[in-house]
Structure 1
Amino acid sequence: MIRVKDASFISSASSLANTTPEGLSEVAFIGRSNVGKSSIINALTNKKGLAKSSSTPGKTRLINFFNVLLSDEEKDFTLQFVDLPGFGYARVSHSMKEEWQKHLTQYIERRISIRVFVHLIDSRHPFLESDKEVHAYLEGIVRPDQRILRIFTKADKLKQSDVSVIKKNYPDAILVSSSSKKGIDRALKAIFETVFGVES
């Protein structure tokens, strides 16, 4: 079974130019501002407070890098989780929003180290146009050595009928809850196997 042995914050970057050096495989978390990116990163690493969440949607304006040490009981593996600025909701000027978008796009399209895009979707709103646009965008730029994982957050708030609808429309969906830890082990396993090509 795959587990996280340690996780730590490395640095924040406002643009591609001041990101961490290329090298370690990266898992980039992308989603709407209130989808719960920080909470999911904390749940996956089992380290409360590692990624700082804000009560104000859209406040994360930097690309945040975290070092994650994983083990499959036989060997250790190291990668980076990357918490990307959320889209939507940000109460900032149009020019500032355009600047964020430019730097975010440069990172997503030019960063060689990205192996997995984790597209986080609020399971209570699984069919938003903004999420469809982001997924289509990722599919349009993803390289042969990259993969996209759809992970639906806040699954503890769903009825079974809601779960069935999501699974019918997205057969590859992984449903998780950062509060109940539902699906967290499965999500971590999927990320690990996708990055390293090793079954845990």
Structure 2
Amino acid sequence: MIRITEAAFVTSAPSLRECMPEGCMEVVFLGRSNVGKSSLINALTNRKNLAKKSSTPGKTRLINFFEVVFDKEGEKFHARFVDLPGFGYAKVSKSEQAAWQKNLTEFITMRASIRLFVVLVDARHPDLEIDKQVSLHIQSHLRPDQQMLTVFTKSDKLKQNELALIRKSYPNSMFVSVLKQRGIAKATEAIFHYLFEGTQA
């Protein structure tokens, strides 16, 4: 069994220039505002308030770094989780959106430590154009040493036949429900295998 046994918030950065030094392999979590990024990070690390949830979707503009330790049969593996601000927010000016889009693009394309992008999609809205565009953007910039994993959140809100349709359209994706604690262990193992073994379990 693979678990995350240690997790701690390290720092926040407003742009690539202020980010912490590279070195440790990084997993980047990104998705629309209110998709459940903070909740998933908390569930994966088994820490209730490790990643802070904003009361206003899209309010956070910081890149948040967390040190995590995976345990596989007593052996420790160190990695870093990176929580990017939610996209798709509307209550900011176009100039602010453009500036932050530039920051995100710089981070995604220039951060050498990134090994895995975890793209979160609300299972209730699986085919939104903004999610498709973000996934295509990530895929177009993937290096040979990077991979992307699509994770559908809030899967408890859907019926089995609805989930089956999404699985058919997105065969390599995963489904989680933080509320019901479904898929969390599988997601933890998948992230571990992507990072340390180069494949999904």
TM-score when normalising by structure 1: 0.97
Matched residue, 1:140: 140
1:59–1:90 Cα contact (<8 Å) kept: no
1:151–1:173 Cα contact (<8 Å) kept: yes
CA positional deviation for 1:198: 7.0
Matched residue, 2:18: 18
1:42–1:49 Cα contact (<8 Å) kept: yes
Q: Which amino acid aligns with 1:170?
A: Y
CA positional deviation for 1:90: 4.0
The 5 Å alignment of 1:151-170 reads 151-170=151-170
Using the alignment, how far apart are the partners of 1:128 and 1:167 within structure 2? 16
Using the alignment, how far apart are the partners of 2:121 and 2:145 within structure 1? 23
The 5 Å alignment of 1:99-138 reads 99-138=99-138
Using the alignment, how far apart are the partners of 2:169 and 2:21 within structure 1? 38
The reply on whether 1:180 has 2:180 as its aligned counterpart is yes
Q: Which amino acid aligns with 1:95?
A: S
What SS does the aligned partner of 1:67 have? strand
Q: Which amino acid aligns with 1:46?
A: N
Matched residue, 1:71: 71
What SS does the aligned partner of 1:188 have? helix
CA positional deviation for 1:92: 1.2
Q: Which amino acid aligns with 1:160?
A: Q
Using the alignment, how far apart are the partners of 1:168 and 1:60 within structure 2? 34
1:57–1:90 Cα contact (<8 Å) kept: no
Using the alignment, how far apart are the partners of 1:160 and 1:37 within structure 2? 23
Q: Which amino acid aligns with 1:27?
A: V
What SS does the aligned partner of 1:3 have? strand
CA positional deviation for 1:86: 0.8
The reply on whether 1:8 has 2:34 as its aligned counterpart is no
Q: Which amino acid aligns with 1:166?
A: I
Matched residue, 1:40: 40
Matched residue, 2:30: 30
What SS does the aligned partner of 2:10 have? strand
Q: Which amino acid aligns with 1:18?
A: E
Matched residue, 1:196: 196
CA positional deviation for 1:39: 0.3
Unaligned regions of 5+ residues in structure 1, if any?
Answer: none
What SS does the aligned partner of 1:27 have? strand
Q: Which amino acid aligns with 2:157?
A: K
What SS does the aligned partner of 2:91 have? coil
1:39–1:178 Cα contact (<8 Å) kept: yes
Using the alignment, how far apart are the partners of 1:68 and 1:56 within structure 2? 27
What SS does the aligned partner of 1:116 have? strand
Aligned-residue identity in percent: 56
TM-score when normalising by structure 2: 0.96
Matched residue, 2:60: 60
Deviations, residues 84-124 of structure 1 (Å, cap 9, x unaligned): 01111241122111111111110000000000000000000
